[in-house]
Every structure is written in structure tokens, then in C-alpha cells.
Amino acid sequence: MSDETQTQAQTEGETGAELEARAEAILRAGPRRVLVAGARRKIAVELIALLLSDPRVDKVLAVAQGPCPPGLMGHDPRRFMYHQAGLARRRQVDNLFLFEEFREHPLDTVVHLAFAGNPKGYDASRHEYNVNAARHLLDAALRHGIGKYVFLSSDAVYAVGPRGDFKVSEDAALNLDPEVSATVRDIIDAEFLCRAKMDHAGCEVMVLRPAGVVGGGVSSGLNLLFESNPPVLPIGFDPMINPTTKERLARDLALALMVHGKGLYNVAGPSAGPLTRFLEARGVTPMRVPGPLLRSTNRLQRMVGQTRYHAEYQPKRLFYSLVLDDSRFEADFRRHAALVAVGGSQGAVDEPFA
């Protein structure tokens, strides 16, 4: 048991046995065998490294279209497998649960990160990949007795505008504007598939809506904006944001896998502030253009290769605040981070979740 956890337990008057009992009630029992779909994403690479640092994770099966990314090649082959599969194909998805390695000890957790968010070149096959992958993975997960299914959604599902709340909770209005980007519609579709199965008795279905991820070379909208040269913002607007990081999001995902719980949760960074303050903190100076010229300037910037950010994806995002309220996730999951760390520290690596 870590010093911090012991101190916390002593403060609360809990004995070691009581703490263990509480941990048993909160944490999912047994070693984890996790399927991570969309393993080529940077967040997946981070999550897999974190999971493999925990001795309670028995095996990780990483699945994606295309070859294994270099960041995953160094893992212990006894605990890590990489497999290429077309997730939009039902049969290929079903086969993932039938590997010989998992016959005696089957997979018990699915993390669905396979989502193509880039609006460039969107077509029907992208839709099939985004939505059918969620459907096939979830169906297969329920058929094969998976105990937990986690889908990583996005904060792009929220409607953003001048009527915005200072903190957006999970029950806020969704962006169902007919003009909305097709990839946002796909995320909402995939979420609805998950939400339809949330009452399943045998499987805890979770949807996480993360705030924009900044740093770590990820391809989130916000990070692509930060990496632009220069980021272009509308004159007279400075929205409030609370972005997270790749490392924090990976920790949140890992907590979601380890702790009992289901439903829809926001996950966000620890601090909120105006967008320009986050840019200043990274030494980035934005360029300002009048609001109506923002999209055409963005298109021009993309044409000359100065940005990969798509202003059309969330057109109002640079005008209006979007601060996610993740107090529910804090109460249901992060609060137990120390408990999760109790088991994690028994192995070689100390407290990966704390």
C-alpha cells in the first residue's frame, strides 16, 4: 500500500482490512484482459503503456487497421498482441474475441478508440468505419461476455453558442444542427449505439467525452489549432476551455477500466481559462482575423500547409466557451485513484494511476 493511501486511510479511520474491503467493492475483480481498438492513435499508445505497467493487467490485445506503430513494438509479447483488422467488418470484429490466447482466459474489457475524426475526404466508408465499428464491437462484446466496454467520444458532440453554460454537464444539449460536420454526426451516432445498451446487465457500458487534448502530437482539433503556424482566431472572442492532456486522458481511461461504473461521463483537464492564456503558456502568438473571414483564412492556411486544423469541424468553437464539467467522473472514478494504485504498486511499477 502506498504511503499516500495509508495516510488517507488513517485519516478516515480505516484499517488496512477495511481499505482492502472497500477496494474490492469499488474495483473490478480479477486480472484485466483488454482489447484496445484503434491502437494507432497516440492516446491508445499511451493507454497501452500505462496498462502494461500495471501487473493486474494480464494481456492487452491492440487492434487497428495498418501496421503496428513503433511506440507499441517494445512491449512484452507475452502480455501484448497487435492485430490488424477491419473494424467495419462484423466477421473480423467477431474473430478478435476468438484468439487461442484468450480461450482459457477470455477478454473482459473493450476500449473503443477507433474513430476517424479528420473531416478531410469524408465518405461512406469513413461513416461505416466510425459507426459500424462501434456497433460491431459492442455487439460482439456483449455476445462474448465482456464486463466493461468504454467508448471514447468527444466534446464536439455538445452544442456551442452564446447561450452556453459556464460548465457543460453530461445532460447538456447535443449539436444536432443539420449543418454539423459528418464526423460529429458519426460520434453522436456511435454514442447513441452505446447508450442504447447501457442498461445491459452483464456489461458496464461507458462513454467518455473528453475535452480537447493539447500536446503530445495528438490529432485533436484543439492540438491541431495549437500546432498551426500561426493559430488563427476571430477578433474579439476568447472562449474559455479546460483542455486535458494525453497522459491525463490515458489515466482517466485506465481508471474507467479498473473501477466499477457505467454511463456517460465528461473528462477534462484540471484547470480552465481563456484559450489565449493556454496559447500564451506555450509561447504561441495567435493571428486575429474578423470572424466571418475565419473559415476562408483557415482554408488558405491548410492549402499552404500552415495548419491541419479544420475550422469547419466545430465552427463555433473558437467563438464560444466550452468548459466540461467532469465532477461526476471525479466523484465516481478519480476519487478512487489511490485505491487503484494500491494494487498497481504491488508490481514493478509504482502507482501508475495516482
d(CA 184, CA 180): 7
Q: Considering the rule CB under 8 A, would residue 170 count as an interface residue with another protein?
A: no
Q: Considering the rule CB under 8 A, would residue 272 count as an interface residue with another protein?
A: yes
Work out the number of other CB atoms within 10 angstroms of the CB of residue 30.
11
* Cell representation of residue 121: 475526404
Q: Considering the rule CB under 8 A, would residue 286 count as an interface residue with another protein?
A: no
To another protein, the closest distance from the beta carbon of 222 in angstroms equals 15
Nearer Cβ to another protein, position 93 or 172? 172
When binding is defined by CB under 8 A, the residue of 166, 201, 283, 303 that contacts another protein is 166
To another protein, the closest distance from the beta carbon of 297 in angstroms equals 15
When binding is defined by CB under 8 A, the residue of 231, 234, 344, 352 that contacts another protein is 234
d(CA 249, CA 152): 10
Q: For the residues of 64-127, what is the DSSP string, one character each?
A: ESSSPPGGGTTS-TTTEEEEE--TTSHHHHHHHTT-GGGTSS---EEEE-------TT--HHHH
Q: Considering the rule CB under 8 A, would residue 169 count as an interface residue with another protein?
A: yes
Q: Considering the rule CB under 8 A, would residue 10 count as an interface residue with another protein?
A: no
When binding is defined by CB under 8 A, the residue of 105, 143, 277, 282 that contacts another protein is 277
Q: Considering the rule CB under 8 A, would residue 281 count as an interface residue with another protein?
A: yes
Nearer Cβ to another protein, position 95 or 169? 169
Q: Considering the rule CB under 8 A, would residue 254 count as an interface residue with another protein?
A: no
Stretch that binds another protein, among 15-23, 142-150, 205-213, 238-246 (CB under 8 A): 238-246
* Cell representation of residue 297: 483564412
* Beta bridge mates, 168: 324
When binding is defined by CB under 8 A, the residue of 215, 237, 284, 295 that contacts another protein is 237
Nearer Cβ to another protein, position 282 or 299? 282
d(CA 10, CA 16): 9
CB 267 within 8 A of CB 249: yes
To another protein, the closest distance from the beta carbon of 172 in angstroms equals 8
Nearer Cβ to another protein, position 183 or 321? 321
148 Ramachandran zone, left/alpha/beta (phi>0; psi -120 to 50): beta
Q: Is 163 exposed, middle or buried (0-12, 13-18, 19+ CB in 10 A)?
A: exposed
- In the block, which residue shows the cell 453558442? 161
* Cell representation of residue 217: 502530437
Q: Considering the rule CB under 8 A, would residue 163 count as an interface residue with another protein?
A: yes
When binding is defined by CB under 8 A, the residue of 32, 135, 167, 334 that contacts another protein is 167
d(CA 227, CA 74): 28
Give the residue among 299, 304, 321, 154 at the shortest CA–CA distance from 232.
299
Stretch that binds another protein, among 28-36, 81-89, 95-103, 165-173 (CB under 8 A): 165-173
Q: For the residues of 209-232, what is the DSSP string, one character each?
A: EEPPB-STT---HHHHHHTSSS-E
When binding is defined by CB under 8 A, the residue of 240, 284, 289, 354 that contacts another protein is 240
When binding is defined by CB under 8 A, the residue of 270, 296, 312, 347 that contacts another protein is 270
Q: Is 348 exposed, middle or buried (0-12, 13-18, 19+ CB in 10 A)?
A: exposed
When binding is defined by CB under 8 A, the residue of 1, 127, 195, 320 that contacts another protein is 320
Q: Considering the rule CB under 8 A, would residue 99 count as an interface residue with another protein?
A: no
To another protein, the closest distance from the beta carbon of 161 in angstroms equals 8
Binding site residues, another protein, CB under 8 A: 161-167, 169, 234-238, 240, 242, 270-274, 277-278, 281, 290-291, 319-321, 323
